[in-house]
Amino acid sequence: MAICHNKKYEREFIKNIHDENHHCERVAGSGSGENSVCDVLVFTAIKHFMVEVKTTKKKKFYVRVKDKKQLEKMISVARKINAIPLLAVKFKQRGWKYFDLNKEWSEFIYENGNEVLIS
């Protein structure tokens, strides 16, 4: 997906979080460069989240190898700073679904050479 389209969904995610009265910030340079760990940081009174935002038109979310490596890196960094690694997937026409990658990484299965998240 083009970076300009991803920004649209990152901003939509941020608006949703602000509507729930939580503070969040889009990470500068998210989606670009090898050092990019996540797209958005979310801060609540009790917990902090590192969030990667993805979108798909399909009923299943397919994780490419590049994305899997980035998610694994985000999980590793989140554990070091006591944050929760979160994958926010916008299923077009169906809405958002959030996955705590500390708990729900097991929901990914292998299919046709890609990791698949059943939704």
pLDDT at 116: 66
Task: Give pLDDT tens digits for 72-89.
Answer: 899 999 999 999 999 999
- CA 40 – CA 95 distance, rounded (Å): 18
pTM beyond 0.85: the answer is: no
- Residue 96 corresponds to which tokens in the numbers above? 């958002």
Contact 87, 50 (CB under 8 A): no
- Local structure of 88: helix, strand or coil: strand
Which domains, and CATH codes, for the chain? Answer: 3-117 (3.40.1350.10)
First to last CA, the chain: 20
**Which residues, given as ranges, of the chain have pLDDT below 50?**
1-3
Task: Give pLDDT tens digits for 93-107.
Answer: 889 988 889 876 656
